[in-house]
Structure 1
Amino acid sequence: MNFSVNYSEALITLLRASEVEIDAIEWVDKLEPSLIAQTRAEFPELAFHFHPGRMHAGQKWFAHLQAYLQACPETPFVSIHLAPLPALWTQARMQRGWLLPGPIPAFAIQRFIKDVRRLQHQVKLPVILENMPSLHTKRYRFESEPAVITRVLEETQTGLLLDLAHARIAAQARGMSPQEYLAALPLERVQQIHLAGVREGPDLWLYDAHEPLLEEDYQLLAWTLERTKPQLLTLEYFREDPQALANQLSRLQTYR
């Protein structure tokens, strides 16, 4: 199992000081290709992986995807959000707190499956899909339903990028333990695991805060690794505290 971390200035500080060992850096398209090239020149021995996240329609997005894959040629999979809920609904909820009516789950799921199949014909790399958190305890739940996730993965013959923070949030929305929720997923399809520290907000709802991992995160990871065989374990830590990052990386090395 290889080990990667998302790009951050904290990570670069640690790499320059030779204080951490990783196999790859994960990049997203909020970061410019020029920064990728600059970092590759400084650390030519590291693999660079691109995580596209949400899939979009049209040739403009596909050209954008191809440019980042070219900048990160060691990318093992095209990792896409398993997100049949259209972007308009997701953005309204996350950015404004709005709950829009609809969409019809069956139509949204089938359209997403068609979009994934189209992408599979366009790219040479395997496509894997990342489970999403629940946006509400009752609305839009189909997106994170284990049965829907299983159906989409089976019909598209894709692997699973298992995001444990997302799984914890989806489990909370259902009044389940994370282990109960995870056990309902097709864990045999896991190709990659995303790790990030969640935090509880004022409303007592868990948020994918990308804060330092807590003890329960490490325990859930251990439970998950007993039941999966991922090729890649990725820490997504979005803060800029080198010591906190170093502590997490040191602990995670024991799970390899």
Structure 2
Amino acid sequence: MRQYQVLTPLEQIEIHPDALLSIKRNDLVPLLDDQFRLNHYADQVVQAQAVLLNGINPQLTQQLSQVVKQIVQHLSSSASIFRQRKFNALQTWLGQELESDARQLNCLKALEELIQQADSLSGQLRVELQKSQMRFLQATGYREKMALYIRAAQEFLQEYPDFMHTRQLQDHFSERLSKKINTLQTLQTGNDITLVQMQLAHRLSLDLMDRFKEAQQVLIPAWQYHLKQSRQQQSLVASAELDKSREQLIRILQQSSEKK
């Protein structure tokens, strides 16, 4: 669901006449003899759609975004930790070289743990996203059913005066049915807003996961390669490549976290 699905206005949804006739006969005509049931008209559609209007767990997305930010912070601080340094005999004797190596190992270990944590959260988020997308599709299906019930009620309201000649009906039925139609329309308008918000959450979550996956599969290995080359060659060129790959990695990860 990369592209937003534009919700067709209810009044523009195509509905087969047979479906309208079925609702009138089986749902609306019986209300003439039992008007109390008018309060429950289209209840099954309302309830079914309400259950489906649950988007992605926002805490899961926030957690992934926070971990990505921590990865960015570690990469930013790694510039000083992995800066090329030459130790003289005294500094080596004092253990400064060993301390530098230990800091680098700790930095790499912490970074690896964060990457694994982000990978786990990304997997959980992908499952949540798939479930939410399925609920969205089901909810749009019930949206079409809501259009059917509203259209049938509107037509029945227009046809209602014909029943006045053959049945003794209370005059306020048409007023109550009109109010019921307005209630259903208002309810669906609110549901449509939620559906749009669900799509926005889907898009943001996809962007976040895609950015992290790009970093995990391409940019992080590239940075690790340049880090290895820099430590082995101890050259300015290798160091420059390391800085370049780190900055590219930070930029991609920052773009993903800033979208949240």
TM-score by length of 1: 0.21
Using structure 2 for the length normalisation, give the TM-score: 0.21
Higher helix proportion (structure 1 or 2): 2
**Structure with bigger gyration radius:** 2
Larger relative contact order (C-alpha < 8 A, sep ≥ 6)?
2
